[in-house]
Amino acid sequence: MADTQPEKGFVRLANDLWKELIRRNFTKRQKDILLFIWRMSYGCNLKVAYIPKLKDFEICGVPATHIKNELKHLESAKVINWDREEKLFSINKDYDLWQITPVMGWETERFNALIHLNIKRKTSQNVNFSVLEQEDETSQNVNQDFTKHEVIEEENFTKHEVEGASNPCGCKAEEVPKDSSFKNIIKDSSNSCCLKEDSIMNQGSQNEIKPDSQDAVPAGDADSNRKAAELDYRNTVTSRYLDRKGSGLIITIKDEAFISELIADGVPLTIALEGINQSFDKFKPKHKKDSIKSLSYCEGAIYGLLAKQEDKSSDPVVLEESVPEISQDEYRKTLEKLKAKRGVEA
């Protein structure tokens, strides 16, 4: 069996670079070249790979007649750095500069959802595995004790049968005739105080909420559901903003803080998403380098929709409408009221 443990060595690569390698429409040859360079650089704890001959790229399956053209194309597309004199190759970590189009079926929201599902699955598997280990250990101990107790009882079984049944609790139960049936034994034993105590205990346990009951809510579920909902809110808003922005895979700390404000102010997810859409739809760049560089740019549209919803609380909010026209005083009052609310809750 192959030994594939990380202790034997591994390529330490950021998840964002893996994601970008999947997202971009590289050909098979180009991917083979990138993986080959990564193995010779990061896989050797180096930032750059030393590949003395272009013919060496045949090792990863690229024909000799295509190696030079593929390297030139990757270099012109800002994907790799090529030092021809020193024979050094490296991957450009600033993937925003890569001039390779995304694949046709790429969906950022679905990709992030799959990552989230697998992280949750890993966490649940670790918890279940530890619980199963404890259960196995407990069951083994119980079985050992039960077997030992059973052997002792078998050795003294004849002695107990001759001497007759004992009444450990001191009740005055009469001896059971040997020719009585099992049904009579159960009926007569109903007068025993031991049976009454057991019945009371069983009745009390029946009144308790069973763990398998559908109405039972395990401790901590409310908090877990709240955190999961907040995480989904953050992921959805982030994905919508990055999709409309068209570049980058992560948001800034300032953007994270703005999403926290939206959550604290109780801004519905539909309003936050519609505010982002309207902000990008109405944005008119002044030059070719002009773009929306921060999620907080959408603040006016989002809180404008929120203010309109509060004014018409009895009517459903129509998100397809344009950004509501409100005065600066109304907008300022709305923000001050929300900030005061956050201060009281804190």
What pLDDT, in 10s, does the model give residues 89-100? 999 999 999 999
CA distance to 34, 52, 57, 82, 146, per residue, from 91 (Å): 7, 17, 15, 9, 64
The per-residue pLDDT for 76 is: 94
For the stretch 51-64, pLDDT in tens is: 999 999 999 999 99
User: What's the chain's average pLDDT?
Assistant: 74
Which of 36-50, 161-175, 202-216, 318-332 shows the highest mean pLDDT?
Answer: 36-50
Q: Which DSSP symbol is given to 315?
A: S
The per-residue pLDDT for 127 is: 55
The per-residue pLDDT for 188 is: 52
Mean pLDDT, to the nearest integer, of 105-110? 89
Q: Is 61 left (phi over 0), alpha (psi -120 to 50) or beta?
A: left
The answer to whether the beta carbons of residues 235 and 269 sit under 8 Å apart is: no
Q: Which residue has the higher pLDDT, 99 or 167?
A: 99
Helix (H, G, I), strand (E, B) or coil at 145: helix
Alpha-carbon dihedral 235, 241, 245, 248, rounded to 10 degrees: -30
The per-residue pLDDT for 32 is: 95
The per-residue pLDDT for 173 is: 47
For the stretch 280-305, pLDDT in tens is: 999 888 887 888 888 889 998 999 88
For the stretch 196-251, pLDDT in tens is: 444 444 444 444 444 444 433 344 456 666 767 888 888 899 889 888 888 777 88
Name residue, tokens 């196995």. Answer: 136
The per-residue pLDDT for 247 is: 78
The per-residue pLDDT for 209 is: 42
Q: Where are the domains of the chain?
A: 10-97, 107-161, 224-345
- Tell me which residue of 127, 89, 330, 114 sits closest to 218, measured CA to CA: 127
At residue 330, what is the residue type?
E
Could you tell me the two tokens for 344? 């009281």
Residue 1 has pLDDT above 50, yes or no: yes
The per-residue pLDDT for 119 is: 86
Residue 270 has pLDDT above 80, yes or no: yes
For the stretch 315-336, pLDDT in tens is: 554 444 445 556 667 777 777 7
CATH of 10-97, one of 1.10.10.10, 3.30.420.40, 1.20.120.80, 3.30.160.100: 1.10.10.10
Q: How far apart are CA 145 and CA 149, in angstroms?
A: 6
Residue 83: pLDDT band (50, 70, 90) is: very high
